[in-house]
Amino acid sequence: MARYARVSLVGSLPGGEVWSVNPVYELLGDVVVSPAQAAAAAAGVNGITLGASLLNGISTAGRLTGNRIEFRSASWELEQVGEATRSTPLSGVGTPTKTHQSAVCLSLRSNFPGASNRGRLYWPALNTGMDTTTLKITTAQRDALSTDAALMLRAIGQAIGTAVSGSDPFLAVYSPTRGSARSVASVWVGDTFDIQRRRRDGLVESYAIATYPPA
């Protein structure tokens, strides 16, 4: 019976690159999830509203194309999958000012110490506000991101709970080492831009070549 729901919000960037954000929710009651419920959960997640700071991060160059939800047992075995592709991909807002790999780290904190009790989600930061003096994320953007991320993550859990009755999902940090999860108590956003390196995995690079020594 399913104990966890691993959600993957899936998006695209120019050049064929993709991005994903993958929060985990613990479910109460070890529920049995049917294919119809899994599909309804994914459709519900597609219907949530994103805050302005998250849309700024995606920018007009990026898209949110859909999501996949994996329902897993207490031993992390896959039991059911729901997928939903948006009929019209959700575009971000604002002109991109940064590269494919630019990201904001959404740090998920539980009330327990130690690295295994903390999680990270990387959100695109192509048009996230930057202080041009310090080259760091502005205070206003940082505050907005932490609030909008918390609202988004709650909405995802609510969508799953509506589709899968009795599951009562709560956002969690899952530790493969422990084989268990901790409930998230806060979402932190620092003022430093991060790098999501896997977004360069499939990007084709063009080169300019200069003969040496130059004429």
Q: What pLDDT, on the 0 to 100 scale, is given for residue 173?
A: 96
Structure tokens at 23: 């929060």
Cβ contact 101:59 at 8 Å = no
Tell me: the pLDDT tens digits for 174-201? 988 888 899 999 999 999 999 876 555 5
Residue 116 neighbours by CB under 8 Å, 6+ apart: 173, 175, 177, 178
Structure tokens at 46: 């597609």
Q: What pLDDT, on the 0 to 100 scale, is given for residue 195?
A: 84
Q: What pLDDT, on the 0 to 100 scale, is given for residue 150?
A: 97
Structure tokens at 18: 């993709």
Cβ contact 124:130 at 8 Å = no
Q: What pLDDT, on the 0 to 100 scale, is given for residue 7?
A: 98
Count other C-beta atoms under 10 Å from residue 7's C-beta.
Answer: 25
Q: What pLDDT, on the 0 to 100 scale, is given for residue 73?
A: 95
Tell me: the pLDDT tens digits for 94-125? 999 998 889 999 999 999 888 878 899 999 99
Q: What pLDDT, on the 0 to 100 scale, is given for residue 197?
A: 65
Classify strands 78-91 and 24-31 as parallel, antiparallel or unpaired: unpaired
Q: Does residue 204 surpass a pLDDT of 70?
A: no
